[in-house]
Amino acid sequence: QQQVKQSPQSLIVQKGGISIINCAYENTAFDYFPWYQQFPGKGPALLIAIRPDVSEKKEGRFTISFNKSAKQFSLHIMDSQPGDSATYFCAAANAGGTSYGKLTFGQGTILTVHP
Amino acid sequence: GAGVSQSPSNKVTEKGKDVELRCDPISGHTALYWYRQSLGQGLEFLIYFQGNSAPDKSGLPSDRFSAERTGGSVSTLTIQRTQQEDSAVYLCASSMGQNNEKLFFGSGTQLSVL
């Protein structure tokens, strides 16, 4: 019930391409879905987040698509750049029940963008 | 400081020893979280503080793990009688409050238990 499953484990794209990472969750109490970006040796940093009352949120080159009925959400990175090479984590929280910060994370996707 | 500060950045210890990991959150942040990141794994929630109290300790894996926060600021995570499976990166994060969605993570403490 608490799991968040993320795929793929690793992803290689060419500069300028679209990177797509998918996540699925089981707990219907989750009401907050952020994506975090982590560079080696650093802590994760919040990239973009969505609530279940909208199906899509876009910030610059980053877009979250959310499908409540399928309990799935995905991150799209348009015009991928070498600087986007990092590990990406999806996460979910029952913010209304506890806190935005008690997150259940996916296993992570290592993204490599070739120049 | 400008960000969440964790110390030490690396800690090597022998099995059976106790260790203390420190977290200095961003000034004014009332919510503080500890997470554990094992090699190749996602982050695992350990404990959450609001002020000095810990309303949610549900992620602590055993009674060898404990944490405290004093003065609504610095937090210490203590692991007693360390085991090899405790080896991981321990991450601390803070936010302006439990209803604030933006978590700021520190760079973590890499704990290695030999």
Chain A residues inside the 8 Å CB shell of B108: 43
Q: Is residue B108 part of a domain?
A: no
Q: What is the pLDDT of residue B1?
A: 54
CATH number of the domain residue B33 falls in: 2.60.40.10
Provide mean pLDDT across the span A4-10: 96
Structure-token pair, residue B48? 């959450």
Q: How many angstroms away from the CA of A34 is the closest CA of chain B?
A: 9
Q: Is residue B106 part of a domain?
A: no
For chain B (length 114 residues), average pLDDT per consecutive 10? 91 98 95 92 91 92 95 95 97 86 94 96
Question: Domains in chain A and their CATH numbers?
Answer: 4-97 (2.60.40.10)
Longest pairwise C-alpha distance within chain A: 44
Q: Is residue B29 part of a domain?
A: yes
For the stretch A54-63, pLDDT in tens is 999 999 999 9
DSSP secondary structure letter of residue B84:
G
Q: Inform me whether the pLDDT recorded for A38 exceeds 70.
A: yes
Q: Yes or no: say if B11 and B82 are a contact pair by the CB < 8 Å rule.
A: no
Q: Total structural domains in chain B?
A: 1
Q: Is residue B111 part of a domain?
A: no
Q: Give residue B21's domain range.
A: 5-99
Q: What is the pLDDT of residue A100?
A: 82
Q: Is residue B53 part of a domain?
A: yes
Q: Is residue B112 part of a domain?
A: no
Q: Who contacts A44 (Cβ-Cβ below 8 Å, separation ≥6)?
A: A36, A37, A38, A89, B43, B91, B105
* Residue of chain B nearest A42, judged by CA positions: B107
φ, ψ of residue A82 to 5 degrees: the values are -55, -30
Q: What is the pLDDT of residue A55?
A: 94
Q: Is residue B104 part of a domain?
A: no
Q: Is residue B110 part of a domain?
A: no
pLDDT band at A2; cut points 50, 70, 90: low
CB spacing of A99 vs B48 below 8 angstroms = yes
* B43 shares contact with chain A (CB less than 8 Å): yes
Q: Who contacts A40 (Cβ-Cβ below 8 Å, separation ≥6)?
A: none
Q: Which amino acid is at A90?
A: C
Q: Yes or no: say if A70 and A5 are a contact pair by the CB < 8 Å rule.
A: no
